Chains A and B, each alone.
Chain A
Amino acid sequence: MSDSFNLEIVNPEKLFLSLDNVSEVVVPAFEGDMGILKDHISIISFLKPGIVKVFKGNEVKELYVEDGIIEFSENSLSILTSRIIDIKEIKKDDLSSMINEANEVLKDENLDDQKRFIANQKIDVLNRLN
């Protein structure tokens, strides 16, 4: 396939996912969702909590990420994230405990704007999944 590129998702524990021939990846970049196709310009950006969509052939894979950095160069995309879960494998209990976690963070009154934004975003996404 000529319109495809490689994707690697790593978390601190292991190489989470490595795929060839991916046609498109949509990532929740900090300043808005970003779709990446082959021959995208080399870019480094970071993510906010959200859903990564991976298009490969006719399949679409959806993954929840909490934060991360993406790097795209020479038709290979790396996503580094500290927490990533396949949406199909996500459990209701985990969701609610993650929402509680984020709510806990929001209780802190000295929170700076960026952290508050991230926590709100997280609750938003998680509620949509719930």
Chain B
Amino acid sequence: MASLDDLKKRITSVKSTQKITKAMKMVAAAKLRKAQESAEKGRPYSDKMHNIILNLSKNINDKENAPKLLAGSGKDNVHLCVVMTSDRGLCGGFNSNITKKAKSYFKKILDSGKELKIVTVGSKGFDQLKRAYKEHIIENISFKESKNVNYFDADKVGKMIIEKFEKGEFDVCTIFFNKFKNVITQIPQEQQIIPLKSEKSDDKNDVMNYEFEPEEDEILNNLLPKNISTQIFKAMLENSASEQGSRMSAMDNATRNAGEMVEKLTIEYNRSRQAAITKELIEIISGAESL
């Protein structure tokens, strides 16, 4: 059995850990609210963008000459995966969930004999993937310096992806991120952004007769790169809300576990102190009796 002193030390150490996790939980809760707000505020832009693209692509008659970003390069040999994770740890299963999802996708691609290229956004994803997939990772981007998610960061990633696509470095691009459902649930998502997957909703009400100025193709050529950045921005917003939510619940659990541990240790401490007192008493009494 550990000595009284050791127990005391352990109790203090667990208590100070608890203080840290509690503080982290509070910080995460405050940040979560902000992240959630900006995720909601960002929605109109991406929704509108999506609608316009839908309208435009329905108006394109000549499918074969459609912009490559929409139709793809016609091949499907090289896959680019953009894995978006956080830059900081201590957020429960947040990063592992994304990488797990991504890894199963990687496996599928490699098994079917296709080439795989990986871009990681956020240093935690890079750390988790570099051991198994080092030779596939072509780029690692991290935005540790920017405090909040902003569009210009997303735009940088988007432009880089488009540049690589135009050089013919890959045929299909998929992004991985966590979709924020609520504080306890975040759903890892994979979303194909190049070529753009047209959704199945064929609502006839959506199709309107628009006038285009300049031509449809030209607008699409201008719009599609922006859409990529927008999608990435959306993923980043969702990700940051998820990260904070995940961290909050992880820290909440940690605080609770620390509380339980302190309780258990305190009982053990009291018991052994009582045992020591009893032992001393017995010694005194038996000493007195022997006289």
* Chain A contact residues, CB within 8 Å of chain B: 8, 10-15, 29-31, 34, 41-46, 67, 69, 71, 73, 78, 80, 82
Q: Is the CB of B219 within 8 A of A44?
A: yes
Do A69 and B213 contact each other (CB < 8 Å), given the known contacts A10-B45, A42-B208, A44-B56? no
**Min C-beta distance of A56 to chain B, whole Å:** 21
State the CA gap A12–B212 with chains docked (Å): 23
Cβ-defined contact, A46 with B222, below 8 A:
yes
Q: Among B38, B213, B223, which residue has its beta carbon within 8 angstroms of that of A29?
A: B213
Main secondary structure of the interface of B (DSSP, over half): helix
Task: Please state if B208 and A11 are interface contacts (CB–CB under 8 Å).
Answer: no
Q: Is B9 an interface residue (CB 8 A)?
A: no
Q: A43-B210, A46-B223, A73-B210 are in contact. Are A11 and B45 (CB under 8 A)?
A: yes
Which A residue sits closest to B149, measured CB to CB? A13
How far is it, in angstroms, between the C-alpha of A82 and the C-alpha of B212 when the chains are bound?
21
Contact surface of B with A, Cβ cutoff 8 Å: 38, 41-42, 44-46, 48-49, 51-52, 55-56, 150-151, 154-155, 208-214, 219, 222-223, 226, 229-230, 233
Interface of A: prevailing SS:
strand
**A73 CB to nearest chain B CB (Å):** 6
Complex Cα distance A83/B211, Å? 25
A41 cross-chain contacts in B, Cβ below 8 A: 211
From A13, A45, A78, give the contact of B150 (CB < 8 A). Answer: A13
- The contact sample of 23 A-B pairs, CB cut-off 8 A, is A10-B48, A11-B45, A11-B151, A12-B45, A12-B154, A12-B230, A13-B41, A14-B42, A15-B44, A30-B213, A31-B213, A41-B211, A42-B209, A42-B210, A42-B211, A43-B210, A44-B52, A45-B214, A69-B49, A69-B226, A71-B48, A78-B48, A80-B49
Measured CB to CB, the closest approach of chain B to A61, in angstroms, equals: 20
